[in-house]
Chain A
Amino acid sequence: MNKKFLFTTILTLLLLSVMALPALGQSPVTAEVDRNFLSTDDALVLMVTIDTGTGDAARPTLPTMNDFQILGSSSGTQITVVNGDMTVQETYSYSLRPLREGALVIDPVTVQINGQTYTTDPITVEVTQGTGQPQQGGSSGGAFPTLPGFPNLNQMLPNMPGSQTQQLDPSEMPTELEGQDYFIEAEVDHDNPYQGEELVYTFRFYQAGSLFDQPDYTAPSFTGFWSKELSDQQMNYSTEAAGRPYRVTELQTILVPTVTGEVTIDPAQLSIPGDFFSSGVDLQTQPITVSVQPLPQNAPDSFRGAVGQFEISAATDLTQAEVNDTVTMDVTITGTGNLETMPDPVWTEGPEWRSFDSKATVNAQFVDGKLQGSRTYERVLLPTENGDLVLPAIEFSYFNPVTGQYETKSTEPITVQVTGDVGAGASLAPLDPGTAVPQNAATAAVNPVLRPIKSSAELSSSAASALTGQTGYWLLWVVPLLLLVGHFSWKSYQQRRLDTADLRRSKSAAGKAKKALKEAQNAGLGQEAAGPILTAYMEEKMNRPVVGLSHTQLVNLLSANGVDDDLSRRVQNCLMLSEMGRYAPAELTLKQGDLWSETAAVIDALDTNL
């Protein structure tokens, strides 16, 4: 081998080795801050970057920070794939506020990667005394700075600017919080309320990991309670547990039990979506059982269900009015308690007042864990008599859960001087149909073409729902069908009855005719009686008159009923001989025996053919 070539090769390898040394010795974990000079009013961002090809690094372990307050944290992952090789860079960011001035040191951060421990270098920052006004936003305040190449932490933690670190009392920390990425819990402020007494349900979400997307919260159904979520009272703050900083989201709901006994609040659920590298997490709280006490039995008559501590007042807009002029009375209940759900007080106006129901307006805020404010009724009253009319005091009773007693408060009576003609009340009587109610003069001036309202005389009533939507309407459609079917059936029945009668008559005709022949013979009647008997038989059999028909008509009739010519001639012969017997009995006597038997034979033959 050429020596020169060998020397060059060795030198190249040595140089490459020297160049590679720094790379070999480079830690995959680095820590840096965004600023080294700040005041006690400012915050800095400590960024811990972990380069790992497989992403199997544990979370960084922060050192003890006695000189800094941890305002919050976030994390992000950056993945790069080059020529099929994947590199993963994880970034953990911590917002720190210095607690004193001076040269403060951030001790090394420790990270475990594949069983090996890496530490960062300590970082020194110079802190000067601030004015005591923590800066909001930007790099001088609570907001995270925007750094090129890194996720926008302000977008990931929108509520972080201005939030405070809250070091919870260890006794208040949930024991189940042991450093996991996400945790939820729920509690009530007291679990032994009276029926109607409000309690507060608090849901907390502890988050240490980053969120790929908004979690999906499913509140309990709160069966057995009236509930109102205080969505505008959502709180966000930070805390630390098991060595990990947590961001806490707290949501409160007011509950008012509507039943008594043991009532269980179902678990709340939170579904945290996964990202490209991890699956989602579904969490749920423990169910909470509340023992609702019934209210004591000795409630006063004016108690309607109010629970809390209240005052009541009433005032009218007028103290002087005319008959049938409106007087508006405002009744206001103020205090703390179930303002949203309490029933109306007992109204006590006498018969001299005509009153109209009014809707209650509630104006309440959630303060110190209680709903406090006012509930106002606006009642419209019409005096129907004149004189000094009194609106009696309104008695309002409520149950005070603090004292465990019923208490009653009253308004002052209000006197209204009413003048005017009582007969004006007649204007309230129905007008004649078609008479329009006179329009208010002021209104008529503004809307001269607006046709006036109609009087009560023009009232009518319509079905509350469309006829075509009612079953009864479609049942009526069946009526004509039933009548038609019934009619057809009746007609068929009658026809069948007639046909049966005809059949019966037809079948007995031959027997009756022969019997008549025999009786005529026994009675010694002449053979002239045979003709009428034969005629009567044919009428019975064919169910139609035969007397009076000419011979031709008779032949045609017999032929139409299936009788042949020969039999027709025999019928005619019998009839003719019978007629001869009437007018020339002596000639017929010669053939006497023949006519009776011939008539019987003809009847038998006809019975077969007809």
Chain B
Amino acid sequence: MKNGLIIAIIGLLMLGILAGGIWLLSSGETADAATIDAANQLYVSGHYSEAARIYEQEIARGVQDSTVYFNLGNAYFEQGDMGRAVLNLQRAAELAPRDPDIQANLELAQQQTTELFAEEPTGPVAILAGLTSWMTLNEAAILVLALWFLLGFFILAYREIQGPRGRRLAQTLALVVLILMLLAGVSLASRSFLLQTQPPGVVVTPSVAISDSPGASSPSSYHLTGGTEVKVIDQVGDWIRLDTPQGAGESWVPATAVEPIT
């Protein structure tokens, strides 16, 4: 009885610390509802550039909201700026990967452009990264942390429980949680690694010529249209190198032509 009380207290304590900590860390700037309403009004009345400007101002304040990015992406789509449409819809998808509206509009925008100028990553890193692709990076980070807390709880419970059956159960659950935590942790690390080494970006200019080396004097052999999704693998001065489909050689473009998704 006494041990059960101790376990319950420890569990509640850990839950409280975890929930409180995550809540504090996840708090960010909230978009002003009235401003968004007004921007939406401008959008509905056909003033897409004005609406886009207001959405951009909210984002410049530090707001990271999938709704704002979604609406901004739509505003650019209506203006025919596929580059910024894809860019902002991708940013919305990063924040809300399970939102069907965002996925639908993103696919629509991607149909207007060359979807991806790079090979999809393969190998164990990509496979592991895909395990948590259905959630945002922050959600994956919270999942790993919560599993770590759960593991600690089951270890404590194992030490407190007297009966053999209870201890066996706590031991099994701890093992299961450990495996899940390791998988989620490795997936999170893989995603972070891919983001660091090959940050995704979108071409935001209507067209950009690819050069074989940095510098405008290099001959252009290929053009990318606005909205093309790329992966950046290097930067030299004002030029960035894109990950290229195999066998295509080096691909350099001016850094101003591409904006990062995250």
Using a CB–CB cutoff of 8 Å, the interface residues on chain A facing chain B are 324-326, 354, 356-359, 380, 382, 427-430, 437-440, 442-443, 447, 449-464, 466-468, 470, 472-473, 475-477, 479-481, 483-484, 487-488, 491
Residues of A contacting B47 in the complex (Cβ-Cβ under 8 angstroms):
326, 380
Q: Which residue of B lies closest to A480 (CB)?
A: B152
Q: Is the CB of B141 within 8 A of A483?
A: no
Q: In B20-66, which residues have CB < 8 Å from any A CB?
A: 21-22, 24-31, 33-34, 36-38, 40-47, 50, 53-54, 57, 62-66
- In the assembled complex, the Cα of A487 lies from the Cα of B71 at a distance in Å of 51
Partner of B41, one of A428, A443, A459: A428
Partner of A456, one of B40, B62, B95, B156: B40
The digit string for B153-164, where 1 denotes a CB below 8 A from any CB of A, is 101100100000
With A326-B42, A326-B47, A459-B36 known to touch, is A472 a contact of B159 (CB < 8 Å)?
no
Q: Is the CB of B101 within 8 A of A454?
A: yes
Q: Is the CB of B44 within 8 A of A438?
A: yes
With A438-B44, A450-B108 known to touch, is A455 a contact of B37 (CB < 8 Å)?
yes
What are 23 A-B residue pairs whose CB atoms fall within 8 Å in the complex?
Answer: A326-B50, A437-B43, A447-B78, A450-B77, A451-B101, A453-B40, A454-B71, A456-B31, A456-B37, A459-B67, A461-B28, A461-B65, A462-B138, A466-B141, A467-B142, A468-B137, A472-B24, A480-B14, A480-B149, A481-B152, A483-B14, A483-B156, A484-B156
Using a CB–CB cutoff of 8 Å, the interface residues on chain B facing chain A are 10, 13-14, 17-18, 21-22, 24-31, 33-34, 36-38, 40-47, 50, 53-54, 57, 62-68, 70-71, 74-75, 77-78, 95, 101, 104-105, 108, 136-138, 141-142, 145, 148-149, 151-153, 155-156, 159, 188, 192
Distance (whole angstroms) from the CB of A140 to the closest CB of chain B: 33
Q: Is the CB of B53 within 8 A of A358?
A: yes
Q: Is the CB of A458 within 8 A of B67?
A: yes
Residues of A contacting B77 in the complex (Cβ-Cβ under 8 angstroms):
447, 450
- In the assembled complex, the Cα of A472 lies from the Cα of B27 at a distance in Å of 12
Q: Which residue of A lies closest to B101 (CB)?
A: A451
Q: Is the CB of A463 within 8 A of B71?
A: no
Partner of B145, one of A430, A450, A455, A476: A476
Q: Which residue of B lies closest to A472 (CB)?
A: B25
* B interface: dominant SS: helix
With A358-B53, A459-B30, A463-B27 known to touch, is A382 a contact of B38 (CB < 8 Å)?
yes
- In the assembled complex, the Cα of A163 lies from the Cα of B37 at a distance in Å of 61
Q: Which residue of A lies closest to B159 (CB)?
A: A487
Q: Is the CB of A354 within 8 A of B38?
A: yes
With A461-B28, A462-B95 known to touch, is A453 a contact of B152 (CB < 8 Å)?
no
Q: Which residue of B lies closest to A430 (CB)?
A: B33
* Besides the known contacts A382-B38, A459-B33, 20 further A-B residue pairs in the complex with CB atoms under 8 A apart: A326-B42, A356-B53, A380-B47, A382-B42, A428-B37, A428-B38, A437-B43, A438-B44, A451-B101, A451-B105, A454-B101, A456-B37, A459-B65, A461-B28, A462-B138, A464-B29, A466-B137, A466-B138, A467-B26, A487-B156
Q: Is the CB of A461 within 8 A of B64?
A: yes
Residues of B contacting A479 in the complex (Cβ-Cβ under 8 angstroms):
14, 17-18, 21, 149, 152
Q: Which residue of A lies closest to B63 (CB)?
A: A461
Q: Is the CB of A450 within 8 A of B74?
A: yes
Partner of B67, one of A324, A460, A468, A480: A460
- In the assembled complex, the Cα of A506 lies from the Cα of B130 at a distance in Å of 64
Residues of B contacting A467 in the complex (Cβ-Cβ under 8 angstroms):
22, 25-26, 137-138, 141-142
Q: Is the CB of A468 within 8 A of B188?
A: yes
Distance (whole angstroms) from the CB of A583 to the closest CB of chain B: 43
With A442-B46, A468-B192 known to touch, is A462 a contact of B38 (CB < 8 Å)?
no
- In the assembled complex, the Cα of A475 lies from the Cα of B138 at a distance in Å of 16
Residues of A contacting B57 in the complex (Cβ-Cβ under 8 angstroms):
356-357
- Residue from A447, A456, A472 having most chain B Cβ neighbours under 10 A: A456
Q: Is the CB of B45 within 8 A of A325?
A: yes
Q: Which residue of B lies closest to A380 (CB)?
A: B50
Q: Is the CB of A464 within 8 A of B24?
A: no
Residues of B contacting A359 in the complex (Cβ-Cβ under 8 angstroms):
53
- In the assembled complex, the Cα of A462 lies from the Cα of B40 at a distance in Å of 21
With A464-B29, A468-B188, A480-B151 known to touch, is A454 a contact of B141 (CB < 8 Å)?
no
Residues of A contacting B137 in the complex (Cβ-Cβ under 8 angstroms):
466-468
Residues of B contacting A491 in the complex (Cβ-Cβ under 8 angstroms):
159
Residues of B contacting A427 in the complex (Cβ-Cβ under 8 angstroms):
41
Q: Is the CB of B148 within 8 A of A480?
A: yes
With A459-B33, A463-B28 known to touch, is A324 a contact of B138 (CB < 8 Å)?
no
- In the assembled complex, the Cα of A427 lies from the Cα of B141 at a distance in Å of 39
- In the assembled complex, the Cα of A326 lies from the Cα of B31 at a distance in Å of 22
Q: Is the CB of A477 within 8 A of B64?
A: no
Q: Is the CB of B65 within 8 A of A429?
A: no
- Residue from A382, A461, A475 having most chain B Cβ neighbours under 10 A: A461
Residues of B contacting A488 in the complex (Cβ-Cβ under 8 angstroms):
159
Residues of B contacting A428 in the complex (Cβ-Cβ under 8 angstroms):
34, 37-38, 41
